[in-house]
Amino acid sequence: MFLGLYNKGMKILLVGSGGREHALAWKMAQSPLCSKLYVAPGNPGIAQVAECVAIGVEEIDRLAQFAVSEKIEFVVVGPEAPLVAGLADRLREQNIPVFGPSAKAAQLEGSKGFMKDICRKYNIPTAAYERFSEIAPAHTFIDKLGAPIVVKADGLAAGKGVVVAETVEQAKDAVSDMLSGNAFGDAGASIVIEEFLDGEEISYFAICDGENLLTLSSAQDHKRAFDGDKGPNTGGMGAYSPARLMTPAMEAEVLEKILKPTVSAMKSEGCPFTGVFFAGLMVVNGVPKLLEYNVRFGDPECQTLMLRLKSDLVEMLFAAATGKLDTVKPEWSTNPSLCVVMAAKGYPGSYQKNTSIRNLDAAGKVSNAQIFHAGTALKNGEIVAVGGRVLGVSATGETVAAAREAAYKALGLIDWPEGFCRRDIAWRAL
C-alpha cells in the first residue's frame, strides 16, 4: 500500500499520556511508515520510543500550532477529551490527516444521551432508557422501573460517571448527586437512566473511515477495583484479549446489528465517523446489546490489542484517516494477551503521589512481558507515580493462563509498596 511514503516515512504526532498511548506509541514506532514520532505530552515510558512534547491533551490551540509548525503529516488522537473538544476538526482545517472523529461525531462518547437517541432512532439494540435534567421526574421514572437500575452522567466523567444502583434509594441519591452538580460537575447536568442488563460485558473494536468499517478484535475489561469484581468502579484494572464469549457468530451479529447501522446512522446525521468504535457490549442470554460507545481505544484494552496485532498500525490508522480503509486487512496473533493495571493505593479515591517505582528494567525483561507506563513521571532521575492508574503490566502467551503467569511474574519484580493490583485478571476465561 502507501509505497510512496515508505521512501521517507511520515512525521507523526500522537496525542495523550496514558497506558493506551504508550501501547500505541510502542506499536507505531515499529512502523516503516513512521520517520519521526512525537507524543504530546507523553510519559517516561513513551519517551523510550518517541519524542515527548510538553503540550497538554486539551490545549487544542497549541497542539494545532505544533502540528503546523513541525509540518506533521499525520495525527493520532488517543483520549476522548480533545476529540470532544474539536481537535480533529482543527487539524482537518489545516489539511492534516487525523485519526479521530469530529467533535460532532465524538458526541457518541461525549454525550450518553446522544448515543442512546441514535440507538432508539436507528433500532440499534440497547437498554431501555430515558433522559432527565430535573430531579423529580427522574425519581418518578426510577419508581416506575424499580431496581437494580443504572444512572449515568450524560457528559465525560473519565470512565466513572456510571452508578449501578442496587436499590431505588441508591438510584435516587445518585440522581440528586449528579443533577445538583456535586458528583460530576457539568458532566452530570443531564443524565440518562436505563434498565439494568444482567449479563457479561465485552469490549469490541472496529475502525471506520466514514464509509468503510474494519473490525479489529475483542477484549474483556475488569472495571471494579478489587478481586472478585468487588469495590468501586474504576477506569479499568486489567483486561485480556480476545474475550472468551466472542464467537464468530456473535461477531457477525455485532457487525450487522450494531456497528454497520451506527456507521450509516452517523452519515445520515451529517457527522460521518472516522476513528475507533469501541463498543461496550452486554451479552444477555447470548444476545449482545450496546451499553455505550467510546470513540477511542480502551485503556487497558488497547494494551492487549497492540500486543496481538501483527500488522502495521500506522498503515491501518492512516488508511482510516484518508478514506482508504478498504485497502487494508489486519493480521492478529492467535495467542491471547493480558494486561494487569498497577494503581496507587486508594484509587479510585484519593491516593498518594510522587512515590518511587523501582526495578522496572528487570520486570520488562521477563519473557513475553511488556510494561506500559500510564500515570508516571521522571523526577530526579527516578520513576515516580503521579496518577491513579500507573502501570499496565502486559504479556502474551500460548494460552490465557500462560499470558497471565508472565504478566504476574513481571509484576512481582516491581518494587512499589504504595501500589496495588487485582490478582484475578481473566478469571472468567480461566
The pLDDT of residue 7 is above 70? no
Q: What fold does the segment set 134-189 form as a domain?
A: Dna Ligase; domain 1 (3.30.1490)
Question: Which of 160, 110, 114 is closest to 389 using CA atoms?
Answer: 160
The DSSP 8-state label assigned to residue 421 in this structure reads -
The pLDDT of residue 163 is above 50? yes
What is the Cα–Cα distance from 186 to 39, expressed in whole angstroms?
A: 29
Per residue in 264-297, pLDDT (tens digit) is 999 999 999 999 999 999 999 999 999 999 999 9
Q: What is the pLDDT of residue 366?
A: 97
Per residue in 110-161, pLDDT (tens digit) is 899 999 999 999 999 999 999 998 899 999 999 998 889 999 988 776 655 7
* Assigned CATH class of 11-102: alpha beta
Chain-wide mean pLDDT for the chain? Answer: 94
Residue 359: left (phi > 0), alpha (psi -120 to 50), or beta? Answer: left
- Least confident range from 169-183, 217-231, 252-266: namely 169-183
CATH topology of 11-102 equal to that of 337-420?
A: no
Per residue in 176-194, pLDDT (tens digit) is 888 877 666 665 578 999 9
In contact, 341 and 237? CB cutoff 8 Å:
yes
Average pLDDT over residues 301-313: 98
The DSSP 8-state label assigned to residue 48 in this structure reads G
Q: What is the pLDDT of residue 79?
A: 95
Q: What is the pLDDT of residue 189?
A: 74
What is the Cα–Cα distance from 405 to 416, expressed in whole angstroms?
A: 19
Q: What is the pLDDT of residue 3?
A: 45
Q: What is the pLDDT of residue 380?
A: 94
Q: What is the pLDDT of residue 246?
A: 94
Q: What is the pLDDT of residue 414?
A: 98
Q: What fold does the segment set 337-420 form as a domain?
A: Glycinamide Ribonucleotide Synthetase; Chain A, domain 4 (3.90.600)
Per residue in 73-90, pLDDT (tens digit) is 999 999 999 999 999 999
Per residue in 48-70, pLDDT (tens digit) is 999 999 999 999 999 999 999 99
The pLDDT of residue 311 is above 60? yes
Q: What is the pLDDT of residue 178?
A: 87
Per domain, the residue ranges of the chain are: 11-102, 134-189, 198-327, 337-420
Average pLDDT over residues 242-257: 95
Three-state SS at 364: helix
Average pLDDT over residues 248-252: 95
Question: Which of 339, 344, 368 is closest to 357 using CA atoms?
Answer: 344
Per residue in 362-393, pLDDT (tens digit) is 999 999 999 999 999 999 999 999 999 999 99
Options 3.30.470.20, 3.40.50.460, 3.40.50.10440, 3.90.550.10; which CATH number does 198-327 get?
Answer: 3.30.470.20
Q: What is the pLDDT of residue 226?
A: 97
What is the Cα–Cα distance from 215 to 178, expressed in whole angstroms?
A: 35
Question: Which of 338, 347, 336 is closest to 421 using CA atoms?
Answer: 347
